[in-house]
Amino acid sequence: MELMKQKLSRLTTEQGTIHGLSFEPRRDDVFVVTAPKCGTTWMQQIVHQLRSGGDMSFDDISDVVPHLEDAYDTGIDIEAEHKYQPRCYKTHSWYPHCPKGAKYILIYREPCAAFYSFFNFFRGVFFQPEEISLPEFVQEFILVRKAPKTKTESSSYFYHLVSWWEHRNDSNVLFLFFEDMKDDLESAVRRVAAFIGIQDEQRIKKAVEMSSFEFMKQHAGKFSGVTMVRRRREACGIPDGAVFCKVATGSATKGREMMDDITKDRIQEKWLEVVAKETGFQDYSELRAAFKKEKMIS
């Protein structure tokens, strides 16, 4: 676990993270904002296809929808104009440290599913399968995270959610859930299109087609973090041939099925300690249902 943390700490530099989170966006810039493994890459593809009308000429999706925290260290100029408008970026920043003044697309996912996906994302890149177990990863890497004190600290899933929850009804925020996107991709794409000002029906239909699981799986190499791996391999000690696993089935149940009861109990304890304390909702399902009801009423 300590070796993994050491490697991960070298993935980005403090200078790079501060540079990215000090970015001053324009009002029409679009930020894809998530806790890790809640649909970030999926939404990067959706917004890029909406604005471009079907462009797949990129090597890696983060070359055209840059990750703010990584851009400096991978040689991407976040101030540059984009080939297609609006400019789009991704970030895992919680609200207090996120650059203000843009449009924000938030996505959350059932925590067990997100954490299981996070585990698979790092496996084979920052640790080998036999080196770290799923319970160890969740309990010693994810659940120990707290509210960041500086821009260079990563937010935990729970504090990230709480920090953005109170802004869910802001006019420049679109709040989505991974499970709803999976259940009805077209409706989600249409909501995103309306939010970022895309009205072209052909582009919307193209974006639905090109952000499907089947399409993205066929082009998995463009969603594997090749730019990050290539440019940070030596600094992080990433094995030759390693790629991030970013396109998966997105199962809503496998994460819970793969975790032991102790780990699930500790995830629930953390939810109650952080999220329930601020929102009153006792678990993810309750929060998601309340949000949907709130939107139906409003």
Question: CATH number of the domain that 50 lies in?
Answer: 3.40.50.300
Range of the domain at 125: 2-297
pLDDT for res 156: 94
Low-confidence ranges of the chain (pLDDT < 70): 1, 3-9, 226, 228-246, 248-253, 297-298
pLDDT for res 125: 72
pLDDT for res 128: 73
pLDDT for res 132: 87
Where helices occur in the chain by DSSP H, the ranges are 2-9, 14-21, 40-52, 61-64, 68-71, 111-122, 134-137, 157-165, 178-183, 185-196, 201-210, 213-218, 226-236, 254-258, 261-271, 277-279, 284-297
pLDDT for res 59: 92
Give the active site residue among 48, 67, 92, 160: 92
Q: Name the token pair of 78.
A: 């976040």
Catalytic residue status for 167: no
Question: CA 298 to CA 293: how far, in whole Å?
Answer: 9
- What secondary structure letter does DSSP report for 144? T
Per-residue pLDDT reduced to its tens digit, 231-284: 665 666 666 665 666 676 666 667 778 899 999 999 999 999 999 999 999 999
User: Which pTM value belongs to this model?
Assistant: 0.92
Question: CA 187 to CA 208: how far, in whole Å?
Answer: 9
What's the domain count of the chain? Answer: 1
Question: CA 103 to CA 242: how far, in whole Å?
Answer: 34
